[in-house]
Amino acid sequence: MPRRGEPDPLSVGGIILAAGQARRYGTQKLLAPLDGRPLLQHVVDAANASRLEEVVLVTGADADALLAQVIPGRARVVRNPDSASGLASSLRVGLSSLDRRRQAALVLLGDVPGVTALLIGDLVAKARETGASAVVSVWRSRRSPPVVLHRSLWPAAFALRGDVGMREILAGRPDVAFIEVTPELGSLEDVDTTDDHARLTHP
């Protein structure tokens, strides 16, 4: 709790985007097994274990199949009826589903099973410390989700269309902070193909 006279800390909700079509993988990759759990379960568990004030899980056409195997826990499941149009529609649904009191959103991808509650906590802390409009993870010298988006950027996110994401919003902005993702904070290897999955299961 803040001391009297101090501002309340930034209120951050989490969004897990899990409505993709997985065309490159061939089947629903989010249910591919990793260490005894579906890929998506790893992301959901990390978000639920973090201090995010709420977690929204955005699903699409495969929602029933996902929820037959993935336990959402405290995550609130919302469905994107327009998921076939691309990532931008799921981002809009996620942002719209957060409590109105949230001042920022931490956006996670469902196919990055190495994300940790520790990394999520560091991203939120960085957003609170810096007041940046966004905080971006840097993995192997590349910018990558998870990303914290301040509410001031949400109108730009709502304007996105098609299979594009936060990179379009953040390009060229000077008021963005970064966190280098070390092995202690997790891994941001994503799973797009069966070869990607094989590298995770047999490193």
pLDDT of residue 1: 42
Closest CA to 116 of 50, 169, 53: 50
CA distances for 24 relative to 63, 84, 144, 160, angstroms = 19, 14, 19, 23
| Residue-range domains of the chain with CATH | 12-201 (3.90.550.10)
pTM of the model: 0.90
Q: What is the pLDDT of residue 55?
A: 98
Q: What is the pLDDT of residue 166?
A: 81
pLDDT of residue 107: 97
User: How far apart, in whole angstroms, are the C-alpha atoms of residue 150 and residue 10?
Assistant: 9
Rounded CA gap, 107 and 161, in Å?
Answer: 17
Taking only the tens of pLDDT, the chain with its 203 residues reads 444 444 568 999 999 999 976 555 556 789 989 899 999 999 999 999 999 999 999 999 889 999 999 999 999 999 999 988 888 999 999 999 999 999 999 999 999 999 999 999 999 999 999 999 999 999 999 998 999 999 999 999 999 998 887 888 888 888 999 999 999 999 998 866 666 666 666 55
What confidence score (pLDDT) does residue 172 get?
Answer: 80
Tell me the pLDDT tens digit for each residue of 96-105: 999 999 999 9
CA distances from 8 to 32, 102, 141, 152 (A): 40, 12, 33, 17
Angle formed by the axes of helices 39-49 and 117-130, to 10°? 50
> Could you tell me the sign of the dihedral formed by the alpha carbons of 40, 45, 48, 49, in that order?
negative
Structure confidence at residue 164 (pLDDT): 80
In 3D, which of 129, 123, 131, 125 has the Cα closest to residue 181? 123
